[in-house]
């Protein structure tokens, strides 16, 4: 009988870092030493700590080993599993103190989290329904089925749960509308079209705990009186689709899905629809059009999907994370759930932490925590000791939050006040080397190409905004351009048909609100303070660092670099095409982005 359990993370991040090879090597090594029966080797869904993958956790002592490669396995088995001596070099090292940490709940990244929705992620084998059931899985459904439909809806209303997809509409209210809507047939739809660049929490929940989403949808189906559901999931998430498919098959096998579920008389079927690559399909009416086989274009509301959704029938549409909260609410009750959070934002929120931050990954925190705690305590601060500049929240629909607002509590309403929005929960941390104009241009480029083209304010407005931003990045902007962007952005927000256009100007507007001087530097001084806009920077040689090795001279495609062996080289800004090949190839960090005239003043 196995008395120790070894969990290997097999989320997308860890798999691409080689966790499956690590598992194979581990099983081989244990078999070779004839001790395979003492260990249970399990692959789990995403732990959230993707930066440090592949992750290996050994229970019951709960030791976390990071960035484990197949080659490390013999040592890990010999030293730790058999010898009981901790393999120091594979432990997590705190980026601030430099100390190694073995107990994974003591690592800053995990210590400040409140893992309710993610409680199974990285703990259970997501392809084994028994492990889900063993941790109170489907207990919420069982409880719900014994209740009156309206009582279930009341429970959700009392919990204060608001939609985790971005807008934050009260979930219980949405259920009530759909419940009360007249119709012989109703649908439940799960929005798993996580399209915000920089967000991956829905992917991780589907990969790590797919049954929680299935259970949430079942409760919703029972409450509103639907017998059919769809999960609309991005085709870019093949592993999530696979795990969800396995979960649905197993749920059918165990009688949680299908006819007369748990003897209650309630029947429900669940289908997966793969998205075909259109960001606008995250918008509910566009998503429904896509399920029906049409171009994914939004339509004006009302009628809302609660009254006329899929094939004209009442349809309740919620996001992955919203559904994943439901089993918890059913198990502990709405009042208990509502104890966490702020007065108007209850429960926890999962954020995807990325960008220039030490601990990239997935973090679940109680509503009301400050952004500073998320970035510095959980995220471990800024990479390479650089200075924090801003955090972009909510992707292309959200906005940036500067240093001065880091202590505002994170909830739906405070973020709107700051000009940003919760969005789906992507947090991209920016440092001194990120240019706010360039980032706004990047988001505008994205939404402009994803605009479906149905309404002119979005179709034409985003194009005009993009062109203006491109001009500014190229050093051809004027001071009037900044006010023009504000005016245009305000109108695009006011007049666009759907959420895509209504939120598209947010990154630009917040960047101008908090970093206007950076815009002015681009148009007035023709410089990019962050050194990111290539048209506005020169590549320059730092004389003290240049060893005169001629490597850069050899790679320069336009012969802009001159100099002799062992003498300081020089880049001619008039010839240079700013391709960056020299910077890439220099072994001494002797080439930096700066202004040719001011060599030495610019920090590398």
Partner 1 sequence: MSEERSFERTALDEILSHYEGQPGALIPVLQQAQDAYGYLPRPVIAAIAERLRLPAARIYGVATFYAQFHLKPRGRHIVRVCLGTACHVRGGERIAEQLAESLGVAVGGTTEDRLFTLEKVACLGACGLAPAMVVDGTTYGRLTPKAALNVIERYRREPAEVATQGGQAQDIGPSSQRGRSA
**Taking CB under 8 A as the criterion, which residues in 307-366 touch partner 1?**
311, 352, 354-356, 358, 360-361
CA–CA separation, 504 vs 501, rounded Å?
Answer: 5
Report yes or no: 218 and 345 within 8 Å, Cβ to Cβ: no
- Residues 348, 354, 360, 361: is their CA dihedral positive or negative? positive
Nearer to partner 1, 543 or 580 (CB): 580
The secondary element (H helix, E strand) that includes residue 391 is: strand 388-393
CA–CA separation, 539 vs 594, rounded Å?
Answer: 6
Using CB under 8 A as the binding rule, whether residue 151 contacts partner 1 is answered as no
Nearer to partner 1, 273 or 569 (CB): 273
In degrees and rounded to multiples of 5, residue 69 shows phi and psi of -110, 160
Minimum CB separation of residue 386 from partner 1 in Å reads: 11
In degrees, to the nearest 5, what angle opens at C-alpha 589 toward C-alphas 99 and 384?
Answer: 30
Minimum CB separation of residue 395 from partner 1 in Å reads: 7
Residue of the chain from 31, 37, 134, 238 that contacts partner 1 (CB under 8 A): 238
Minimum CB separation of residue 598 from partner 1 in Å reads: 25
- Range 53-72, binding partner 1 (CB under 8 A): 53, 66-67, 69
Minimum CB separation of residue 232 from partner 1 in Å reads: 10
Binding segment for partner 1 (CB under 8 A), chosen from 155-163, 220-228, 295-303, 322-330, is: 295-303
CA–CA separation, 361 vs 349, rounded Å?
Answer: 14
DSSP assignments along 266-296, one per residue? --BEEEEEE--S-GGGGSHHHHHHHHTTS--
Nearer to partner 1, 277 or 343 (CB): 277
Bond preceding residue 302 cis, omega within 30 of 0: yes
Nearer to partner 1, 277 or 480 (CB): 277
The secondary element (H helix, E strand) that includes residue 352 is: strand 348-355
Joined tokens for residue 576:
């240079």
Binding segment for partner 1 (CB under 8 A), chosen from 166-174, 175-183, 195-203, 315-323, is: 195-203
Nearer to partner 1, 9 or 161 (CB): 9
Using CB under 8 A as the binding rule, whether residue 184 contacts partner 1 is answered as no
Residue of the chain from 45, 160, 163, 198 that contacts partner 1 (CB under 8 A): 198
Minimum CB separation of residue 267 from partner 1 in Å reads: 19
CA–CA separation, 397 vs 240, rounded Å?
Answer: 24
Joined tokens for residue 78:
């010999």
Residue of the chain from 39, 132, 138, 279 that contacts partner 1 (CB under 8 A): 279
Nearer to partner 1, 159 or 285 (CB): 285
Residue of the chain from 126, 195, 309, 399 that contacts partner 1 (CB under 8 A): 195
Which H, E and C letters describe 572-596, residue by residue? CCCCCCCCCHHHHHCCCCCEEEECH
Total site size for partner 1, rule CB under 8 A: 72
DSSP assignments along 150-169, one per residue? HHHHHHHHHHT-B-TTSS--
Binding segment for partner 1 (CB under 8 A), chosen from 49-57, 145-153, 161-169, 414-422, is: 49-57
Terminal Cα-to-Cα distance of the chain (whole angstroms): 58
Nearer to partner 1, 92 or 256 (CB): 92
* DSSP alpha helix (H) spans, 17-161: 19-32, 73-75, 108-111, 129-134, 139-145, 149-159
Minimum CB separation of residue 277 from partner 1 in Å reads: 3
Residue of the chain from 292, 479, 558, 577 that contacts partner 1 (CB under 8 A): 292
Calculate the CA dihedral of residues 434, 365, 394, 372 and round it to 10 degrees.
-40
CA–CA separation, 63 vs 79, rounded Å?
Answer: 14
Minimum CB separation of residue 275 from partner 1 in Å reads: 8
Minimum CB separation of residue 87 from partner 1 in Å reads: 13
Contacts with partner 1, 369-398, as mask; x by CB under 8 A? -----------x--xx-------x--x---
Minimum CB separation of residue 384 from partner 1 in Å reads: 7
Nearer to partner 1, 261 or 465 (CB): 465
Residue of the chain from 17, 120, 159, 468 that contacts partner 1 (CB under 8 A): 17
- Range 445-504, binding partner 1 (CB under 8 A): 446, 450, 452
Who's near 562: CB < 8 A, 6+ residues apart?
553, 569, 570, 572
Residue of the chain from 110, 138, 200, 388 that contacts partner 1 (CB under 8 A): 200
CA–CA separation, 49 vs 53, rounded Å?
Answer: 7
Q: Which of 94, 89, 101, 7 is nearest to 54 (CA)?
A: 7
Nearer to partner 1, 162 or 234 (CB): 234
- Range 394-433, binding partner 1 (CB under 8 A): 395, 426, 428, 430
Measure CA 406 to chain center.
Answer: 19
Q: Which of 38, 47, 40 is nearest to 19 (CA)?
A: 47
Using CB under 8 A as the binding rule, whether residue 276 contacts partner 1 is answered as yes
In degrees, to the nearest 5, what angle opens at C-alpha 407 toward C-alphas 403 and 409?
Answer: 130
Residue of the chain from 125, 236, 373, 413 that contacts partner 1 (CB under 8 A): 236
Residue of the chain from 9, 12, 164, 578 that contacts partner 1 (CB under 8 A): 12
Residue of the chain from 6, 8, 9, 15 that contacts partner 1 (CB under 8 A): 15
Nearer to partner 1, 115 or 234 (CB): 234
Minimum CB separation of residue 429 from partner 1 in Å reads: 9
Using CB under 8 A as the binding rule, whether residue 20 contacts partner 1 is answered as yes
| Beta strand spans in 98-235 (E) | 100-101, 187-192, 228-233
Nearer to partner 1, 141 or 552 (CB): 552
Residue of the chain from 161, 233, 248, 439 that contacts partner 1 (CB under 8 A): 439
- Range 581-600, binding partner 1 (CB under 8 A): 584
CA–CA separation, 465 vs 460, rounded Å?
Answer: 9
Could you give the strand order of the β-sheet that contains 63-65, starting from the edge strand earlier in sequence?
39-44, 4-9, 56-59, 63-65
Using CB under 8 A as the binding rule, whether residue 208 contacts partner 1 is answered as no
Using CB under 8 A as the binding rule, whether residue 223 contacts partner 1 is answered as no
Binding segment for partner 1 (CB under 8 A), chosen from 51-59, 137-145, 157-165, 318-326, is: 51-59
Report yes or no: 334 and 158 within 8 Å, Cβ to Cβ: yes
In degrees and rounded to multiples of 5, residue 235 shows phi and psi of -70, -15
Using CB under 8 A as the binding rule, whether residue 13 contacts partner 1 is answered as yes
């Amino acid at each position: 009988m196995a008395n120790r359990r070894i969990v290997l993370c097999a989320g997308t991040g860890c798999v691409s870092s080689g966790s499956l090879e690590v598992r194979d090597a581990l099983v081989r090594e244990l078999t070779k030493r004839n001790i395979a029966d003492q260990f249970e080797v399990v692959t789990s869904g995403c732990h959230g700590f993707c930066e440090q993958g592949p992750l290996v956790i050994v229970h019951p002592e709960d030791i976390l080993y990071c960035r484990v490669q197949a080659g490390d396995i013999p040592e890990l088995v010999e030293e730790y599993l058999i010898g009981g001596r901790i393999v120091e070099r594979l432990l997590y090292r705190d980026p601030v103190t430099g100390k190694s940490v073995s107990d994974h709940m003591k690592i800053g990244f995990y210590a400040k989290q409140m893992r309710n929705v993610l409680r199974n992620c990285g703990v259970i084998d997501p392809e084994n329904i028994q492990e889900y059931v063993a941790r109170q899985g489907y207990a919420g459904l069982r409880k719900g089925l014994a209740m009156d439909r309206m009582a279930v809806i009341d429970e959700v209303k009392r919990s204060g749960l608001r939609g985790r997809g971005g807008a934050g509409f009260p979930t219980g209210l949405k259920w009530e509308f759909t419940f009360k809507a007249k119709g012989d047939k109703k649908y439940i739809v799960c929005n798993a079209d996580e399209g915000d660049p920089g967000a991956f929490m829905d992917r991780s929940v589907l990969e790590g705990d797919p049954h929680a989403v299935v259970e949430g949808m079942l409760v919703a189906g029972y409450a509103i009186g639907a017998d059919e559901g769809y999960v609309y999931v991005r085709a870019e998430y093949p592993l999530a689709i696979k795990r969800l498919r396995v979960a649905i098959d197993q749920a059918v096998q165990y009688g949680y899905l299908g006819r007369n579920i748990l003897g209650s008389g309630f029947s429900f079927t669940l289908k997966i629809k793969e998205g075909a690559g259109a960001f606008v399909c995250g918008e509910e009416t566009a998503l429904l059009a896509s399920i029906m086989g049409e171009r994914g274009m939004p339509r004006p509301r009302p009628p809302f999907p609660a009254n006329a959704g899929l094939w004209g029938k009442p349809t309740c549409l919620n996001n992955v994370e919203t559904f994943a909260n439901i089993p918890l609410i059913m198990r502990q009750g709405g009042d208990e759930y509502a104890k966490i959070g702020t007065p108007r934002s209850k429960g926890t929120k999962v954020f995807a932490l990325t960008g220039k931050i030490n601990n990239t990954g997935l973090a679940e925190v109680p509503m009301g925590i400050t952004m500073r705690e998320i970035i510095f305590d959980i995220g471990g601060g800024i990479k390479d000791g650089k200075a924090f500049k801003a955090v972009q929240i909510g992707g292309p629909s959200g906005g940036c939050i500067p240093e001065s607002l880091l202590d505002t509590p994170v909830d739906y309403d405070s973020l709107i006040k700051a000009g940003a929005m919760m969005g789906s929960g992507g947090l991209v941390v920016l440092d001194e080397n990120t240019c706010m104009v360039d980032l706004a241009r990047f988001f505008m480029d994205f939404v402009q190409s994803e605009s479906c083209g149905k309404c002119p304010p979005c179709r034409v407005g985003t194009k005009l905004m993009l062109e203006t931003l491109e001009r500014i990045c190229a050093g051809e902007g004027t001071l009037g351009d900044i006010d023009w962007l504000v005016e245009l952005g305000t109108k695009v927000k006011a007049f666009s048909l759907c959420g895509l256009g209504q939120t598209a100007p947010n990154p630009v507007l917040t960047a101008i609100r908090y970093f206007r001087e950076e815009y002015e530097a681009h148009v007035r001084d023709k410089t990019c303070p962050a050194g990111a806009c290539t048209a506005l920077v020169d590549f320059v040689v730092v004389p003290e660092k240049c060893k005169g090795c001629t490597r850069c001279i050899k790679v320069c495609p336009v012969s802009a670099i001159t100099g002799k062996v062992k003498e300081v080289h020089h880049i001619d800004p008039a010839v240079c095409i700013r391709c960056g090949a020299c910077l890439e190839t220099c072994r001494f960090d002797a080439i930096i982005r700066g202004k040719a005239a001011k060599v030495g003043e610019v920090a590398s």
